[in-house]
Amino acid sequence: MTGPSAAVAAVRLAVSRELADLPAGSLVLVACSGGADSLALAAGTAFVVGRSARHVDEAGGVPPLRAGAVVVDHGLQDGSAAVATRAAEQCRRLGLNPVLVVPVTVRGPGGPEAAARDARYAALEEAARRTGAAAVLLGHTLDDQAETVLLGLARGSGARSLAGMPTRRGPFRRPLLRLRRAETAAACTALRLVPWQDPTNAAAPDGPRRSRVRHQLLPAAERVCVVLVD
């Protein structure tokens, strides 16, 4: 019997390392949009926690880790409720429980991207508080990290932006920060998971700022200086 693909194995290993310090019986929540990154993370988490439970059954006496998911519906696009429902169903099929769908109202200063981010993080923190979760796992990859650094530099944040996103902050953990976006997509393909394609991530000259960085600036930066992402 063949083992998992390299991409699937990489995701599982990253999740396993990130969960290694959690106390027995802890609940972790995966923030899942249904996109390739968070869907691969959900699948990897379900596998790692499921394997933990099997080992506990064999050893006896120690409560296993538990894993659920939170799907935040920002309500910014037509059909967003259906997208959230689909993502939740995918998480349930992977064996995650509980799976929460949380609609939020996006408003506030800083533009729609910043307001959506603030609403999302607030909803995730509240979900963790409500369920008693020890950690919330986010699907940011190395590509997201590079985009964050470039966006910070573009805003004039200077040296502070070079730090990028932390692996851990508060309840949030980012297991996939050393993996490329291509790896999460490959993991979904190998596991026959069909991710949602966020239309705001499509290449467009007038798209959101992060999308423009992703499709225009980051490829140019990779060609000029590979060290930005590798």
- The domain segmentation of the chain, as residue ranges, is 6-198
**What is the three-class DSSP state of 186?**
helix
Q: How far apart are CA 50 and CA 42, in angstroms?
A: 12
For 85, the token pair is 């429902």
Instruction: Give CATH superfamily name and number for 6-198.
Output: HUPs (3.40.50.620)
pLDDT, average across residues 113-140: 95
164-206 pLDDT tens trace: 899 999 999 999 999 999 999 999 999 999 999 988 766 556 6
Unique residue bearing structure tokens 């796992």: 137
Helix (H, G, I), strand (E, B) or coil at 74: coil
Between strands 27-31 and 135-137, the pairing is parallel
Partner residues linked to 159 by β-bridges: none
Phi and psi of 195, rounded to 5°? -80, 155
Query: In angstroms, rounded to a whole number, what is the distance separating the alpha carbons of residues 176 and 162?
Result: 18
Average pLDDT over residues 17-39: 97
- Look at residue 218 in the predicted model and tell me its pLDDT: 59
pLDDT at 61: 60
Q: How confident is the model at residue 157 (pLDDT cuts 50, 70, 90)?
A: low
pLDDT in tens, 64-95: 899 999 999 998 888 999 999 999 999 999 99
- Of 40, 23, 6, 34, the closest CA to residue 195 belongs to 34
Q: What pLDDT does 230 receive?
A: 52
